[in-house]
Structure 1
Amino acid sequence: MLTSVFWGKRGLAMIRRREQLTGIARHGRLRRSHPVRTALGLVAASLAVLLVSTAAVAGIALWQFSSTVSANSIDLNGADVPDAAPSIGSYESGFNILIVGVDNDAEQGGAYGDRDSALNDVNILVHVSADHTNAVVVSIPRDLIVAHPTCTNADTGEEFSSMSARPVNEAMSRGGLPCVVHTIEELTGLEIPFAGLASFDGVVRMSDAVGGVPICLTEAINDPLADLDLPAGTSVVSGSTALAFLRSRHGVGDGGDLSRISSQQIYLASLMRTVQGDGTFTNLPKLFSLASAAATNIKLSKPLANTDTMVSMALALKDIDLTRLVFVQYPGTTDDPDFPNKVVPLQGLADTMFAKILADEPFALAAEDPEPTETPVDPEAPIDPEAPVATDTPVIEAAPEVLDGLTGRTANDESCAQAFTG
């Protein structure tokens, strides 16, 4: 951007200098204008102005975006920041990102109700494997009973002691986004260097920037508490309607809080299909729209508040096989009498799942019933004398292990949300 601005000022100075030199009227014979030459000159000049203006606007927009993201960034209490941002290109390794949604952001007023403190009611952990062939999106229920570590509120300096068993959504009030990240790290055993904090208003703005997401309903939904009224079948939702669908509890599933996670997964799976299918990753106007919406409505951790980093992560996701992008709910039960109306972890299943995530091993859900993948042998491929003798028999790749008991879907699952009829 600085280069564009420099040349812009220099060009303006040259024009003014030329006007000063040619400001004295000189008598002489004027050249006869040629209509075709004049028209071509105007076209060329217009194109030049357009190109220069576009470059300047793009540079200014990028600078404003980077500045806004940096200004809104959050320090995760000393989280490691990479020595240098990766160059533009696909991210070179795997990564973990935690997206946190708060229900009572002070900046959005009382539009969505008032509470004594902000709660992290939405906690979505995204893991992308090192080879970018698979990814897992784990939704953590807000009422999941977890151990809470010691946390310090960076704004007030207040210290909070550890707790053995409290709902995960209390972490936000104990120390903001850094405390939520630390709590989820201890719960999952994963390092989470990247995180983002979004409010209800942020969800509305981001869904508008995407341009709408198709969702399918088995029956019509009318949930006055969430201000949601949608017909059966497929609707394209954005803005406040998208937020209402994501917030609705009494309109979907069994009317319980966990049903909202299913709605979020349906929405996110459709969102991924939409942006992968409509060329969003290569559409500059859409990317700038999304970047502006993200910069002004999502607060990012400092390691993530870098333009190159975000673009690199997007490129790592743009070609991922939708059957290898799994949305799953953290395994838990609501039947524990010691914690009525809460979710208690199914620790054995959770440990197995996160061991696979940590090892970058893909897994499948029971409902998928995956088939082995056949990789045909190329008969014209060069022969390696040290390799086993090739045959025409297809190589059978082992199907991902099925983890029974997990609830979720893959990104290519286009099934409809179940309306609450009880």
Structure 2
Amino acid sequence: MTEPTNAQLRPRRGRPGRPTSIARHGRLTRRHPFVALGKILAGIAVVASVSAFSLAGIAVGDVVTSTKPAVVLVNPTTHKEVTKQQGIAALQGSFNVLLAGSDSGDGNAAYGKRGENLNDVTMVMHVSADHQHITVVSFPRDMLVPIPSCPKEDGSGSYSAMSSQKINVSLSYGGLACTVLTVEKLTGLSIPYAAVIQFDGVVDMSNAVGGVPVCLSGPIKDPYTGLNLPAGTSTIQGQQALAFLRTRHGVGDGSDLGRISNQQVFLSSLVRTIKSADTLGNPLKVYSLAKAAASNMQLSTSLSNVQTLASMAVALKGADLSNIVFVQFPTNYVPGGGAVAPDPAGERALLTALQNDEAVQVTGNTGIGSVQDPTHATTDAGATPPATAGSTPTTAPSDGASAPAGSGGAVALPDQVHGQSASDYTCSKPFSG
């Protein structure tokens, strides 16, 4: 069976023969970043690491040639400074990376008949100026947002602005550059780096690390993705890992919101696996991670050189697991339909913290698709106490105004903002609808 798409909900502009999503300097293939954060962290962390091994010369050259044609963002003058990165010193100050992708399956028949070129997963990774805190925000695919006027991919003009559409149509109207413009308008953040990622990257990445352990609070079956896992902990890789990350009907309430928190179970475990000595101390795994990341991502021009990737690695290598925080952009359901809209209080608190380059602390639960793992402590051994779910920070005001500092000076987000840190052990929650 093939998971239904929401292509029928996509707005039509009455333009017969409108071109598919084509980058202005190279084809923007249809991608999906189900392990977007894991791959971007792996890619930037291991490109620098390979230089420590005898495989360095071969690996770096091979990884660079694996990257696909770069995508030019809409406003390169705004992001001019990021294209001039020289040397392998850490990037200076805070920075943001957007990861987007399509649910089309990149034309692979193994994934069934897919819909149009929709960015059904959109994430932004914010790295603080001191490089000690990383906040990864997942934007629900059905969230209604304004979409600005975006240049057509063939350079023949621009698409009209739209006042309220689901965020996952942005990739269809101007490609990756339009998704970046949309998220910049929504968040008020400058996003100089971006990437699009495909289904097969999940398979390659999970294989490269030798599998990722995930916990399930009960058995999960999903006939749409073919997922069938027992309760407890399973180490998954390859197509099974892809099915786990694609599942929507098997977790939570069957919605995309449940899928986001289920993905965060995998992402947090993937980050722990990548940062473990067993991975970083193994040159073959390091090389495989770099290769898997580069082979399955299409990058913006600002990301498409090994010096920039290595400089990001230097900036990120010291971040503690407890300071890598995954959050779901806060929303409320819109009456009478399957869409959601930003929750004003939660949105204001989250975006203010990001704009002010402040660390965040999740005070709400992990989301409807996951629960805390009762068999593990809430923090990784040796890690500092996490600013995440399960802790008891200073309570944030319910209206989201001037949220007080939580543990370690982090901003305590209102409890309608769900998520976890990479040091939190969580379990996927089976569908209960």
* 57, 60, 72: which one aligns with 1:59: 57
Task: Give the match for residue 307 of structure 1.
Answer: 306
Give the alignment partner of residue 359 of structure 2, picking from 344, 362, 370. 362
Match runs of 1:54-203 below 5 Å: 58-69=56-67, 71-79=68-76, 80-81=79-80, 82=82, 84-106=84-106, 108-115=107-114, 117-155=116-154, 157=156, 159-203=158-202
Asked if 1:411 corresponds to 2:411, the answer is no
SS across alignment from 1:179:
helix
Structure 2 partner of 1:15: none
1:14-413 → structure 2 map (5 Å cutoff):
58-69=56-67, 71-79=68-76, 80-81=79-80, 82=82, 84-106=84-106, 108-115=107-114, 117-155=116-154, 157=156, 159-278=158-277, 280-281=279-280, 283-334=282-333, 336-337=334-335, 340-366=337-363, 367-370=389-392, 399-404=409-414, 405-413=416-424
3-state SS, counterpart of residue 327 of structure 2: strand
Preserved CA contact (<8 Å) 2:140 2:257: yes
CA distance in 2, matches of 1:247, 1:115: 13
Contact 1:371–1:399 under 8 Å retained in 2: no
Alpha-carbon distance, 1:365 to partner: 1.4
C-alpha deviations, 1:216-272, integer Å up to 9, x for none? Answer: 000111111111011111111111111111111111111222110011111111111
What is the rounded CA distance, in whole Å, between the counterparts of 1:119 and 1:371 in structure 2?
38
| Pairwise CA distance, 1:93 | 2.3
Instruction: Write the distance in 2 (CA, Å) between the matches of 1:299 and 1:280.
Output: 24
Instruction: Measure the CA separation in 2 of the matches of 1:186 and 1:253.
Output: 30
* Partner Cα distance (1:159, 1:181) in 2: 15
Structure-2-length-normalised TM-score:
0.74
Give CA deviations for 1:75-120 in whole Å, capped at 9, x if unaligned: 11242343532422433322111111211154x3333233452100
The one-letter code matched in structure 2 to 1:84 is K
Contact kept, 8 Å, 2:103 with 2:115, in 1: the verdict is no
| Distance in 1, Cα, partners of 2:223 & 2:408 | 48
Give every structure 1 segment of 4 or more consecutive aligned residues whose post-TM-superposition deviation is greater than 6 Å. Answer: none
1-side partners of 2:219 and 2:131: how far apart?
Answer: 38
Please give the alpha-carbon distance, in whole angstroms, between the structure 1 residues aligned to 2:412 and 2:75.
38
CA positional deviation for 1:201: 1.7
Provide Cα deviations, 1:114-144, integer angstroms capped at 9, x if missing partner.
3452100000110010101211110000000
Matched AA of 1:400: A
In 1, Cα distance between the equivalents of 2:217 and 2:407? 36
Structure 1 residue ranges without an equivalent (≥5): 1-53, 373-395
Aligned length: 341
Structure 2 gaps, min length 5:
1-52, 364-388, 395-405
Contact 1:370 1:399 in 2 (8 A): no
- Structure 1 residue 154 displacement after superposition: 1.8
Distance 2:237 2:151 in 1: 37
Which amino acid in the other structure matches residue 291 of structure 1? A
Q: Distance in 2 between matches of 1:218 and 1:315?
A: 37
Cα gap change, 1:247 to 1:160, in 2 (>3 Å) = same
TM-score (norm 1): 0.75
Q: Distance in 1 between matches of 2:120 and 2:357?
A: 27
Cα contact 1:213–1:267 (8 A) shared by 2: yes
- Point out the structure with the larger helix share: 1
More deviation, 229-238/274-283: 274-283
User: Equivalent residue for 1:385?
Assistant: none
Equivalent pairs: percent with the same residue? 43
- Larger deviation: 147-156 or 401-410? 147-156
Cα 1:244–1:89, aligned 2, differ >3 Å: closer, same or farther? same
Offset, 1:297 = 1.1
Deviation at 1:416, TM superposition (A): 0.9
RMSD: 2.3
